[in-house]
Amino acid sequence: MTLYRHVLAPALFALSADRSHSLAHAALRRAPPWRALSAIANLKVADPSLTTHFAGVEMPGPVGLAAGFDKNGDLLAALSCLGFGFICVGSIMPEPRFGNPFPRLVRYRAKESIADSMGVPSKGRAYAVERLKQHTRRPVPVFANVGGFSSETIAAGVLEVMPHVDAVEISLMCPNVLKPGEVFDEIGMLRAILDRIAGRTASIVVRVPNDTTQLHDRFAELVELCVEAKVGGLKVGGGRRFAEPALGAGMGTLHGRAIFDAALENVERAAGFARGRIPIKGNGGISSAADVLAMRHAGATCVDLYSAFVYQGWTVARDINRDLVAAFARDAGEATLVPKVGIAGARRT
């Protein structure tokens, strides 16, 4: 972390966020240097206490890389060397898309947060599927985030991508053709998608739209639908839309430390609706083992991150995992010191 924080990060942050993003992608296109770095820096923390099960997938750790960084599966070989418990590719869109005008990213370094206005750029589903087919030996599980603007295109994407990944994450996206006064029916869209992939929901993760988390009844209804359909898991975050004149689109979504409290509250609310019937992945501003433990306490089984990867660099998963192992060991040690209550352990008077 010292090399990244004190040498590379200042150099990258002197550039625009979009330029730094492009350079990071270029650096991660070749896997061999990252395999060597992983071995030298012990980036992969192998400990049984970290093993996590989510959406029917066994993962070597509870901390993954969220969708958005590797949108097309170009960087999987290198990213798999960095100690994450899973990698999420996407969003994978049906057809190639350019996305929003630049600038698409703004950094708020003091808050370790990012404004994003990517506009779901994608090389298209056909390209991503070919990349996933080439990544046959998966040292860590791969999830694919599939998007689209209709239930038909999302369901088709799920079915095409599913054979090549460990689980599929669905992003419910507004079709942007609503008439004045209409409201995006994310629950209707999800129900139509699930009908089209009936019988294949166990390895599906539904990403709860950020707007839905603000509507108590809609949030509860969406969770209940996923439970009834036997969906494998939920992803719950805390991102929010806001005006940012420095972005080319003038609007963006806030990510990073600034939204952690909101994400934590949303995970807790989702867990309350779910009542243990469906596992939850937390997302939003996670950057430390303490954050992961807080998410677990709120009801999350695992988490994924993105902004912390930008601000802390390639050791972020290793550092969090090391601290988690230590925390789990402390908890286990403390548990053995607690006297058992009962007849044999009762204090005699």
pLDDT at 338: 56
Instruction: Convert the pLDDT of each residue in 111-124 to its tens digit.
Output: 999 999 999 999 99
Q: Which DSSP letter does residue 87 get?
A: E
59 touches 80 (CB < 8 A) = no
* C-alpha distances in Å from residue 139, one per residue of 80, 164, 343: 7, 14, 50
Structural domain for 233, as ranges: 2-337
Instruction: Convert the pLDDT of each residue in 217-254 to its tens digit.
Output: 999 999 999 999 999 999 999 988 899 999 999 999 99
pLDDT at 347: 35
Name which of 100-104, 136-140, 302-306, 334-338 the model is least confident about. Answer: 334-338
Average pLDDT over residues 249-263: 94
pLDDT at 198: 87
pTM for the structure as a whole: 0.91
* Residue 343: inside a domain: no
* Residue 344: inside a domain: no
Average pLDDT over residues 160-179: 83
Domain at 290, CATH number: 3.20.20.70
Indicate if the pLDDT at residue 344 is higher than 60: no
pLDDT at 210: 92
pLDDT at 341: 44
* Residue 103: inside a domain: yes
H or E segment at 252?
A: strand 251-256
51 touches 4 (CB < 8 A) = no
Indicate if the pLDDT at residue 17 is higher than 90: yes
Q: What band does 73 get if pLDDT is binned at 50, 70 and 90?
A: very high
pLDDT at 51: 97
Residue 345, SS3 per DSSP:
coil
- The number of folded domains in the chain is 1
Give 334 or 324, the one with higher predicted confidence: 324
Q: What band does 317 get if pLDDT is binned at 50, 70 and 90?
A: very high
Give how far the C-alpha of residue 337 lies from the chain's centroid of Cα atoms, to the nearest Å. 36
252 touches 115 (CB < 8 A) = yes
| % pLDDT > 70, the chain | 93
Q: In 157-196, which positions are buried (b, 16+ CB within 10 angstroms) versus exposed (e)?
A: bbebbbebbbbbbbbbbeeeeeeeeeebebbebbbebbee
In terms of Cα–Cα distance, which of 311, 301, 201 is closest to 255? 311
Q: What band does 182 get if pLDDT is binned at 50, 70 and 90?
A: low
In terms of Cα–Cα distance, which of 303, 271, 299, 300 is closest to 286? 303
* Residue 142: inside a domain: yes
In terms of Cα–Cα distance, which of 312, 311, 320 is closest to 113? 311
* Residue 348: inside a domain: no
Indicate if the pLDDT at residue 205 is higher than 90: yes
| % pLDDT > 90, the chain | 83
Cα torsion 285, 110, 252, 294 to 10°: value is 10
Other beta carbons within 10 Å of 118: 20
Q: Is 328 exposed, middle or buried (0-12, 13-18, 19+ CB in 10 A)?
A: middle
pLDDT at 349: 30
Tell me the H-state helices in 57-146. 76-79, 125-134
Pairing of strands 204-207, 167-171: parallel
* Omega cis (within 30) before 103: yes
Rounded to an integer, what distance in angstroms lies between the CA atom of residue 343 and that of residue 334?
Answer: 22
* Residue 202: inside a domain: yes
Give 337 or 194, the one with higher predicted confidence: 194
Name which of 4-13, 301-310, 313-322 the model is least confident about. Answer: 4-13
231 touches 87 (CB < 8 A) = no
Rounded to an integer, what distance in angstroms lies between the CA atom of residue 223 and that of residue 279?
Answer: 11
* Residue 108: inside a domain: yes
pLDDT at 181: 59
Q: 327 CB contacts (<8 Å, ≥6 apart)?
A: 289, 293
Average pLDDT over residues 145-160: 95
pLDDT at 184: 84
* Residue 345: inside a domain: no
Q: 338 CB contacts (<8 Å, ≥6 apart)?
A: none
Residue given tokens 């139509």 in the structure block: 192
Give 230 or 348, the one with higher predicted confidence: 230
Helix (H) and strand (E) counts for the chain? 13, 14
Rounded to an integer, what distance in angstroms lies between the CA atom of residue 288 and that of residue 285?
Answer: 9
119: left (phi over 0), alpha (psi -120 to 50) or beta: left
Instruction: Convert the pLDDT of each residue in 76-103 to its tens digit.
Output: 999 999 999 999 998 999 999 999 999 9
